[in-house]
Structure 1
């Protein structure tokens, strides 16, 4: 399959295709740059000559979202990560976003890239990680597998940060469905405050489809409920009801973050909706909620995917 080696800000571009579907994964962070089906963009992604901003399409390993103060307890001691969101005093979105991933397999409709988390300040563990993107008759499927190559147990979480578009100028007009009973309130630092709260009777309840409207979302949902396909799926649909996309949440997913992009740079705000499958909620390294503890040699898999549809 073709891949470009030109001097782009995100390195080599790995294209896969099947029928009327095509997708592009980039060398930098194994980020998902582009996906379209039937001639319609499914993602609000980025061009090959652009730098990644707003986390678009990035893999969040070995933790998604934020860790307050970058500090967490582990094995009777404390670990201190660099503060990669200094304005809020947090460590954000893991350690592999700005790392070159290497192609392990590349076929017509499938690509696999791999990278290593090496022991470092705040995370003294080694993980081997591989991300597989495959196009099938039902859409795009993503599987991210991490294996602990350390001699000690390692804390672990994983997420990904695609932005969906329903073909509207702003996400406000798009119709959203989120099959979740609970949401996490956050404070000024973007980290959870208190226990998960029921969405019943709040503006955050999207269990019945309705337009996003002017609501600002940077919200983690839990209490995910499976749909007719046997797994939860977040749906973003065009207001006409003629087409849309289901982002399904598979093996290893315990939470999903929605972000309307109100804090992004001018011109990028509310253009698409970030729908982020996560193995754990924000700050799980501190709270322990749904935190994965990988024993030496143990592996973890996160699966999610995109199913574009037309009525």
Structure 2
């Protein structure tokens, strides 16, 4: 059984989520980490939600807070060819006929380490018929309260190929940044600024599969480089690349409101950012939050090979991103 969020349930007849959550705290930061899927349930600072939270009862909506492996985003037509062999995945995005967001978001991870400020979860992923490549995955969450550049939440994911053949691999994460009030209301009142340190965007077709090469954002509505701007009516479900990085190698997305900003940074190895303004969500969720997704590769990388990681047997790779808050008062 494949859920609409791309996971492979292994913990209940109907894939119900494991009822275990880890609460982290450091200074003015609080976080909740879900043992199911190693997802980020909640992150707050001074009582302000920094991400759109979910609970065990509601489960994630629209992949909120989910770890996306062994591929982020989508695989067109739910099929791909790797080293001469075609593989078929289950379609879990019927509107586009794609397989989206990987295979681990509904799986129960085990606890490796735990303290008040951090937790490390581990998954021995055996592979599936559509992705027969076993991996050992670890996700280390850490909260830091000091005023260093690394304060806030840091998430480090490590993947190791435990099989006897090469494994294609990509990674992403799906947090929705929030400033408390709905994103659409802040946009209408002119009280929000969106910034992304990306020089190019990836054009896509109606099914959100890349078409052609990335194009420069300069002079277009997709130019969100510093100092950023109010995104207005721009609809975003867009992959960005050519990321400008600071002296620590981090690319940034910043969402600024009247009194504070939420900042997501992506370390080296995350060469792509997907921004999603929630326009396709219905009701009160329409344009309520902004997804900022660090990705190691673009959509459909299992087919295109663009920035796809190929892990040899025994080889491992590590990627880190973080989320923090800054006061504007």
Same fold, judged at TM 0.5 (above): yes
1:217–1:258 CA contact under 8 A, matched in 2: yes
Residues 81 and 168 from structure 1, CA distance in 2 versus in 1: closer, same or farther, beyond 3 angstroms?
same
CA distance in 1, matches of 2:18, 2:59: 7
The structure-2 alpha-carbon separation of the partners of 1:35 and 1:12, relative to structure 1 and needing over 3 Å to count, comes to same
What count of residue pairs does the alignment treat as equivalent? 302
Instruction: Find the partner of 1:148 among 152, 161, 164.
Output: 161
Distance 2:229 2:247 in 1: 19
Q: Name 1:227's counterpart in structure 2.
A: 246
Aligned to 1:169: 182
Q: 1:10 to 1:237 in 2, by over 3 A?
A: farther
Separation in 1 of the partners of 2:95 and 2:260? 39
Structure 1 residue runs of 5 or longer lacking an equivalent are 1-7
Q: Determine if contact 2:162/2:314 at 8 Å carries over to the other structure.
A: yes
Q: CA contact under 8 A between 2:156 and 2:320: conserved in structure 1? A: yes
Given that 1:17 and 1:135 are in contact with CA atoms closer than 8 Å, whether structure 2 keeps it comes out as yes
SS at match of 1:210: coil
Question: 1:131-157: CA deviations, max 9, x gaps?
Answer: 010001211100011100000000000
What corresponds to 1:81 in structure 2? 89
Q: Structure 1 pair 252/229, CA: closer, same or farther in 2 (3 Å)?
A: closer
Q: For the residues of structure 2 that align with 1:16 and 1:265, how far apart are their CA atoms?
A: 32
The corresponding residue for 1:111 is 119
Q: Does 1:243 align with 2:260?
A: yes
Match of 2:237 among 204, 218, 223: 218
2:172 to 139, 147, 159: 159
Structure 2: gaps spanning 5 or more residues: 1-15
- In the alignment, what sits opposite 2:321? 304
State which of 35, 38, 41 in structure 2 corresponds to 1:30.
38
Comparing 98-107 and 40-49, the one that deviates more: 40-49
The residue matched to 1:211 in structure 2 has which SS?
coil
Determine whether 1:123 maps to 2:127: no
2: CA distance, partners of 1:88 / 1:25: 30
The answer to whether the 8 Å contact 1:10/1:51 transfers is: no
Q: State the distance in 2 between where 1:217 and 1:105 align.
A: 37
Whether the aligned pair in 1 keeps the contact of 2:183 and 2:290 (CA below 8 Å) is no
Instruction: Judge conservation of contact 1:68–1:283 (CA < 8 Å) in 2.
Output: yes
Tell which deviates more after alignment, 20-29 or 114-123. Answer: 114-123
TM-score (norm: length of structure 1): 0.93
Q: How far off its partner does 1:102 sit? A: 1.5
For residues 147 and 227 of structure 1, what CA distance do their matches in structure 2 show? 28
Q: How far, CA to CA, are the matches of 1:106 and 1:174 in structure 2?
A: 37
CA RMSD after TM alignment = 1.5
